[in-house]
Amino acid sequence: MTVTMLVERDGLLAALREVEPGAMVFVSGEAGIGKTSLVRAFCAGRPLVRYGFCDALGTPRALGPLHDIARSSQDSALTGLLGSGADRHALFTAFLDLLAAGPSVAVVEDAHWADEATLDLLLFVGRRIDELPAIVIVTYRSEEVGRDHPLRRVLGDLATARPVRRLQVPALSRAAVAELAEPLGLDADQLFAVTDGNPFFVTEALSAPGEELPATVRDAVLARAARLGPEARSVLDIVSLVPDRAELALAGKGVEECIESGVLQLEGQTVRFRHELARRAIESDVPAVRLPVLHGQVLDYLAGLDEVDPARLSYHAEAAGDRAAALEYAPMAGRRAAEVGAYRQAAEHYARALRHASGAPVEVQAALWRDSAEACDNSGYLAESIKASERSAELWASLGEVDNQGTVMARCSHVLWKAGRNAEAHAMARAAVELLEAGTPGPGLAVAYAALARLLMLGRDMPGAIALGTKAATHAEQFGDTQTLGRALNAVGSAHWLTDPERAVEVLSASLDAAIETGDQMGVASAMTNLGSGAGEVRRYDLADHWLAAAAEYCSARDLDASGSYVQAWQSRSLFEQGHWTAAGAKAAEVLAAHSQHVPSYIVANVVLGRLRARRGDPDAETPLQRGWELAVQTGDLQRLWPAAAALAENAWLQGSPELIEGLVGETYEHARVLKHPWAVGELAQLLRLGGVETELPEYVARPYLTGDGWQELGCPYEAALALAASEDPERQVEGLSGLQQLGAWPAAEIVAKQLRESGIQRLPRRPRGSTRDNPAHLTDRETEVLALLAEHLRNVDIGARLHISAKTVDHHVSSILGKLGVSSRQEAAEWVRAQDRELGTRT
């Protein structure tokens, strides 16, 4: 077999041997193509190789490969964390520590069967492997990874990662098959026609040279098995029902004959088929009447062992038709999967338990539906989560368990909000509060108060959010629920941004501490994000940028991509408002390319990108602006409606259609006035004035809108330039025009210049040359040349030699370039060039 599988593999083996430590290699190919044999040949002779396997269990073990690697490496730290229910960030970091301990190879086989947590682990490691002295090899079947397969997300996210390689294993050629067939007197053409060059199929046919060539591979496997004695065949039957590997003691008598014949191979204290296709061929031949009996034998054996993954027990319990065992082990498997973030697998385990729960006590069923709802929510199965929550609430209600019923309803309200069903979300949260207030106060009331407070805060009803969130915090403390306390404080702190920013920071910091104490990673990310986005909303950019950077680092370290995308979207908005337009556009484009399904992120990034195009006079500002507005309307929340409406109105003004402004912002303006949002009312009122609508600003409006100054101190150059241009002092008006031109705000600059000329001012700042204006970063021709060479990682002296200028002159150009791009290093400038190239490629 080894010889056969390595025919025509010299080139692939050489390619693997050229891989340096600090790399991840994805090895793909169809089933039986020889991926494993290739990888084993590469690993042969290496001092330290660790193997992990993904299982074909239907619902795979959570972090199965990591358990295998920990067991084979005898790493007590990793094993201890796996056994203690540690969170997945701790597990992932421990695996990195294991890889960092010295030169090694880690192999993850059959990633097409990987659970969600294992896929997240691969993404986590792939983003950090370049810093480690190890090579990680991942095999998967290419034909099983379609466009919607979960592994596709990992491959896509790592597509541009420098240390990640891909290797496709092809079928054998006709000549190679002939070389193997002819010494045995077999018809090479017929063999190739039947096997299509698949090495496994070829091997199975060659294993019985004296027999007639099998018509199918299944026949080839079964023909080989038929030559074994009855005890050995019984071993094959039971081992075929155990995906991946079976314990020797389970295999029983006859296992030696199976190993000697080459049908099974020995690995430590376990045995396995040489290929999954062979296992499936034997499994398909087991009489249906015997399947439940054999699965029952496997279940009985595994149940007597220590530390058996409940996913295995759950699988065999259902196959054996043992409803009680399935109901016992499936929820255990679901909880273990959820603990490590394998939420899709957790949802599948709970679904299995529910299939066998019809005769279970009602409270057991209600708890299962509740846990299923949470797993579905975390998996993104929002519709399923809502249905499960409704069923759970019904069952708790039938038992008179009001606290549990209200808790489920409160949590469901957040799922409804994420699904864009905001009116239903508010109705559900209010119903939960009313239900729980009518009974004896319990811990569920804190959860309900916190859920409704969060919805009020998101809708920018800040007084309501503060009052209710404070109630939630009081009840959570009374019942010792620190996690709910943190969530409640998050809503209260976020609501304080508009009236008392210092208090907002204080309360959100307390929320962050509570989340850290309870290990609530989503709570930590949310607190950091709201510290950053809240500060940004009231234009405290130093504080905003600090917390957004901290949140981005936290989310990246834990691969919390959905939360991280919202952080990136807010970073783009902060950069945009501070005048770093090129960097803002690149960040917004990055969010839109990677996170189009995360609606809040999508709204923010679309509004930033559309507004940026409008202010620069770039083509097609309308598409992202309209897309952002449509999604904002769907939410009904002021924090989404206000920026989107303002962006549409500003674009109308810049396009010379101020008469459209009232229709674009009037309704949102009234919404903002009802909620007394100082910044939203100020901006929308200012735009209405540009549309010829007289507005009287209330005293609570943010100061810069009341006085017309203070924008420069806040760090808002565009607003500062417009305020100068609107003054009555001609010198200040000209200064405002110059500021708009420096920003590259050409449509606004043209409007202001026309107004100045009509007022009799003729000596206006000269507009830059067309080539400078057309440049997306508004660089001069020379700066463009310098940037192109800088992107090639040349030193200043080398750039100077290329352009025949001094290194000192190059240094001046580089400083100017960094300022115009809004970046802080040469490396970031080079990345900006690459982002522009990608955007250009997308447009063309």
Q: Of 9-13, 178-182, 747-751, which range is least confident?
A: 178-182
Q: Any idea which residue has 């030193």 for tokens? A: 795
Confidence at residue 299, expressed as pLDDT on a 0 to 100 scale? 96
Mean of the pLDDT values across residues 627-652?
95
Three-state DSSP at 804 gives coil
Residue 570 and residue 604 in contact, taking contact as beta carbons nearer than 8 Å: yes
pLDDT at 677 over 80: yes
**Torsion sign over Cα 319, 323, 326, 331:** positive
Return phi, psi of residue 725, to 5°.
-65, -25
pLDDT at 312 over 80: yes
Residue 588 and residue 607 in contact, taking contact as beta carbons nearer than 8 Å: no
Residue 42 and residue 96 in contact, taking contact as beta carbons nearer than 8 Å: no
pLDDT at 838 over 70: no
pLDDT at 4 over 60: no
What is the Cα 626 distance to its own chain's centre? 26
pLDDT at 2 over 50: no
Return the structure tokens found at 224: 């080989």
Residues 710, 713, 718, 724, Cα dihedral to 10°: 50
The most confident of 265-274, 313-322, 592-601, by mean pLDDT: 313-322
Residue 342: CB atoms within 10 Å: 34
Residue 144 and residue 4 in contact, taking contact as beta carbons nearer than 8 Å: no
Task: Lay out the sheet containing 164-168: strands in order across.
Answer: 49-53, 104-109, 134-141, 23-29, 164-168
Q: Of 333-342, 602-611, 685-694, which range is least confident?
A: 333-342
CA angle 257, 260, 265 (to 5 degrees): 100
The per-residue DSSP string of 447-473 comes to HHHHHHHHHHHHTT-HHHHHHHHHHHH
**How is residue 619 annotated by DSSP?**
S
The CATH number of 776-843 is 1.10.10.10
Higher pLDDT, 87 or 294: 294
pLDDT at 3 over 60: no
Confidence at residue 263, expressed as pLDDT on a 0 to 100 scale? 87
Return the structure tokens found at 721: 């330039």
Residue 156 and residue 167 in contact, taking contact as beta carbons nearer than 8 Å: no
Q: What does the alpha-carbon distance between residue 370 and residue 354 come to, in Å, rounded to a whole number?
A: 11
Confidence at residue 26, expressed as pLDDT on a 0 to 100 scale? 97
Domain ranges of the chain: 2-170, 638-707, 710-767, 776-843
Which runs of consecutive H residues, i.e. helices, occur in 676-729? 678-690, 703-707, 711-714, 717-725
Measured between alpha carbons, how far is residue 187 from residues 191, 192, 207, 364, 783 in Å?
A: 6, 9, 15, 62, 69
Q: With pLDDT > 90 as the criterion, what percentage of the chain qualifies?
A: 63
Crossing angle (nearest 10°) for helices 561-577 and 521-537: 10
pLDDT at 68 over 60: yes
Q: What does the alpha-carbon distance between residue 228 and residue 211 come to, in Å, rounded to a whole number?
A: 15
Residue 517: CB atoms within 10 Å: 13
Residue 260: CB atoms within 10 Å: 11
Reported as a pLDDT band with limits 50, 70 and 90, residue 806 is: confident
Q: What does the alpha-carbon distance between residue 528 and residue 564 come to, in Å, rounded to a whole number?
A: 11
Burial 551-571 (b: 16+ CB within 10 A, else e): bbebbbebbbbbbbbbbbbbb
Residue 566 and residue 601 in contact, taking contact as beta carbons nearer than 8 Å: yes
Mean of the pLDDT values across residues 347-354?
96
pLDDT at 110 over 90: yes
Please report the beta strands in 757-833, taking only residues with DSSP state E, as ranges in sequence order.
none
The secondary structure element, H or E, covering residue 794 is: none
Reported as a pLDDT band with limits 50, 70 and 90, residue 1 is: very low
Confidence at residue 563, expressed as pLDDT on a 0 to 100 scale? 85
Measured between alpha carbons, how far is residue 443 from residues 150, 402, 405, 436, 492 in Å?
A: 37, 11, 12, 10, 19
Return the structure tokens found at 272: 């396995």
- At 421-437, the pLDDT tens digits run 888 999 999 999 999 99
Q: What does the alpha-carbon distance between residue 343 and residue 308 come to, in Å, rounded to a whole number?
A: 20
pLDDT at 274 over 80: no
- At 718-755, the pLDDT tens digits run 999 999 999 989 889 999 999 999 899 999 999 999 99
Q: Of 203-207, 344-348, 460-464, which range is least confident?
A: 203-207
Three-state DSSP at 621 gives coil
Three-state DSSP at 28 gives strand
Q: Which fold has domain 2-170?
A: Rossmann fold (3.40.50)
Residues 12, 18, 19, 25, Cα dihedral to 10°: -10
Half-sphere exposure of 144 (CA within 13 A, CB side): 16
Return the structure tokens found at 816: 């100017």
Residue 693: CB atoms within 10 Å: 15
- At 371-404, the pLDDT tens digits run 999 999 888 788 999 999 999 999 999 999 999 9
Mean of the pLDDT values across residues 824-843?
69
- At 182-231, the pLDDT tens digits run 777 777 887 787 677 888 878 777 776 655 544 556 787 888 888 899 99
Crossing angle (nearest 10°) for helices 443-458 and 422-437: 150
Reported as a pLDDT band with limits 50, 70 and 90, residue 771 is: very low
Q: Of 260-269, 415-424, 593-602, 642-651, which range is least confident?
A: 593-602
Return the structure tokens found at 566: 């919202």
Confidence at residue 843, expressed as pLDDT on a 0 to 100 scale? 44
pLDDT at 74 over 80: no
- Mean pLDDT computed over every residue of the chain: 89
